[in-house]
Structure 1
Amino acid sequence: MVEQHKELIRDFIAQHVPDTEVDDDEDLFAGGLVNSLFAVQLVVWVERTFDLRVEGADLDFAHFASVDAIAGFVGGKLAPAGGGAWTSN
Structure 2
Amino acid sequence: MSEDIRTPIREFISAKFPQISLDDDEDIFALGFVNSLFAMELVMFVERTFGVRVPNEQLKLDNFRTMNAMAELVRGLSESMRLSAG
Greater helix fraction, Structure 1 or Structure 2: 2
Report the counterpart of residue 12 of structure 1 in structure 2: 12
Report the counterpart of residue 34 of structure 2 in structure 1: 34
Partners of 1:20 and 1:31 lie apart in 2 by 10
Which aligned segments of 4 or more residues in structure 1 are displaced greater than 2 angstroms?
none
Partners of 2:32 and 2:69 lie apart in 1 by 17
1:47–1:54 contact (8 Å) kept in structure 2? yes
With normalisation by structure 1, the TM-score equals 0.86
Partners of 1:15 and 1:35 lie apart in 2 by 16
With normalisation by structure 2, the TM-score equals 0.89
Report the counterpart of residue 45 of structure 1 in structure 2: 45
Report the counterpart of residue 67 of structure 1 in structure 2: 67
**Gap runs ≥5 in structure 2:** none
1:25–1:66 contact (8 Å) kept in structure 2? yes
- Cα drift, residue 61 of structure 1: 0.3
Residue correspondences, number: 82
* Higher RCO (C-alpha 8 Å, min separation 6): 2
RMSD, aligned α-carbons: 1.3
**Gap runs ≥5 in structure 1:** 83-89
Partners of 1:56 and 1:44 lie apart in 2 by 13
Note if 1:78 corresponds to 2:62: no
Partners of 1:50 and 1:26 lie apart in 2 by 22
